Structure 1
Amino acid sequence: MSVRFVMTGRRVLYTGGAGGLGAETTRALLSAGAEVHVLDFDAEKIAALEGAASEATADRLHLHRIDLLDKPALAGLLGTLAAERAIDVVINNAAIYPSKPFEDYSDAELAAVHGVNVEAAQLCTRAALPGMRAQNWGRILNVTSITLSGQWENLVPYVQSKGSLLGLTRAWAREFGKWGVTVNAIAPGAFPTDAEKIHPDPEGYNAMVLDRQAVKRRGSANDIAAAVMFLASEEAGFITGQSLAVNGGWVME
């Protein structure tokens, strides 16, 4: 995507920034001049992102392979990063999305979804907040989901976790605004990523998505990158506590 916003010198912490919808946003942030710390667990996607980095941006891309359920390791990494200098932007994007009837989930599975999708976001935000507060500037973006509209089944813990992130978006926005920190959510629609592999009939699902969207094309990672770049920019400083739906007009709020 073309660079529309200048982020030179900004430090970005991005969970899940190597795969799915994340890699394109990481590249957009790097192209805009940001230093990006990607926290991801998928070694293959990390290697692909590293290999695709240009010589001009490679020194500003920092890849950290980490299991977000390993809280001591995550806390240690976040402490190290925050101690170096302020983290300007946090993008809480990482998520896991097992699919089956609610009664079939074990307590451990429910806890794992909440741990990755919500608790890791809380830890990342808590680590970055002191630096943001000290400089009176910060951007926190929580990636939620179109599934909050209630049109999907067999995703209860995932939907629950995204509802938690939406609630955190509003509560954090209210609490952090006095320090020049904005907090917003981005709610992607149905994008053709690995998440769609849970569907038994990919072609039928694709047709269903296009039928329900007002815009008759599938979304791309660039669509999410554009939303992130705007909400992370200086220009979005008067927008907080909001949820931006990027779904081709499937759900209109």
Structure 2
Amino acid sequence: MKRETAMVASTIQGILAGRRVLYTGAAGGLGHQTTLEMLAAGAEVFAIDRDHSKNERLMADTPPELADRLRLVEMDLTDGPALEAKLAEITQNAPLDVVINNAAIYPSKPFEDYSMEELRLVHQVNVEAALICTKAALAGMRDQGWGRIINVTSITLTGGWENLAPYVQSKGSLLGLTRAWAREFGKWGITCNAIAPGAFPTDAERIHPDPEGYKKFVLDHQAVKRRGTPHDIAATVLFLTSDGAGFITGQNIAVDGGWNMS
């Protein structure tokens, strides 16, 4: 990871200089590399993740010269009051410039087998945490007349998967919020976009009983015949958070190798 970060640093250095970024799920499969590349681009990153081992790995992979701008926040997003308190602390003296709502849980079983508690838990992590994070950052973004919000949705919204009802529901909610926030916040210089990752080889794929069969299924559906990498997501995030993307808002950008072309 350190080598890959060093390779991209020369092209992205300074893109996010001085920007303060809040990133949920920052140490996970897609978040890890994006966090490193945002640090290389000059950002101060408040990386929220509940997984201690992944947080330790992220810290270990962060080059020493960038480590002073990495703020690891280890917490469970289901604790709304604790999240609100932490965000109040983070924004007390300076605004957040970028919010990336990425954290999600991904249970898989037939819809009738979910309890209402399980359905609420998915919504709590995947949607309510995004509401809290965005609300906490909004006033500062509005006051400075600049802000970037990115919601991570999913290719599953196309309807090609079963047994993921609460996850798909949560991602549909984020897509709706993306469009509502883009319309409402645009007058303040704030953009809001979504990124819909395709089938990336992360921990989420462990739910599939036949890994090789699933890999073939993915490549058969993609126009680009390789698996996606976390850098593919990081590059999209960096573009959408840059000044150059200031006229793009309310969009759901598929990063999926050409799987969905709607």
User: Which range, TM-score by smaller chain?
Assistant: over 0.9
Q: Summarize the alignment of residues 1-253 of structure 1 with structure 2, pairs less than 5 Å apart.
A: 2=8, 3-4=11-12, 6-253=15-262
Partner Cα separation in structure 1 for residue 151 and residue 242 of structure 2: 15
- What displacement does 1:6 show? 1.1
Question: What are the superposed Cα offsets for residues 157-208 of structure 1, whole Å, 9 maximum, x if unpaired?
Answer: 0000000000000000000000000000000000000000000101100011
Partner Cα separation in structure 1 for residue 172 and residue 97 of structure 2: 25
Partner Cα separation in structure 1 for residue 99 and residue 214 of structure 2: 32
- What displacement does 1:54 show? 1.0
- What percentage of residue pairs aligned between the two structures are identical? 66
Partner Cα separation in structure 2 for residue 65 and residue 35 of structure 1: 16
Determine helix, strand or coil for the equivalent of 1:185: strand
Partner Cα separation in structure 2 for residue 84 and residue 49 of structure 1: 26
Question: What are the superposed Cα offsets for residues 1-36 of structure 1, whole Å, 9 maximum, x if unpaired?
Answer: 523361110000000010110000000000000000
Tell me the C-alpha RMSD between the 2 structures.
Answer: 0.7
Q: One-letter code of the match for 2:48?
A: L
Aligned residues: 253
Question: What are the superposed Cα offsets for residues 65-109 of structure 1, whole Å, 9 maximum, x if unpaired?
Answer: 110000111111011111121000000000001000000001110
Determine helix, strand or coil for the equivalent of 1:244: strand
Q: One-letter code of the match for 2:47?
A: V
Unaligned runs of 5+ in 1: none
Partner Cα separation in structure 2 for residue 96 and residue 19 of structure 1: 11
Partner Cα separation in structure 1 for residue 212 and residue 69 of structure 2: 39
Question: What are the superposed Cα offsets for residues 87-141 of structure 1, whole Å, 9 maximum, x if unpaired?
Answer: 0000000000100000000111000000000000000000000000000000000
Partner Cα separation in structure 2 for residue 84 and residue 144 of structure 1: 31
- What displacement does 1:55 show? 1.3
Partner Cα separation in structure 2 for residue 47 and residue 79 of structure 1: 25
Q: One-letter code of the match for 1:215?
A: V
Per the normalisation by structure 1, the TM-score is 0.99
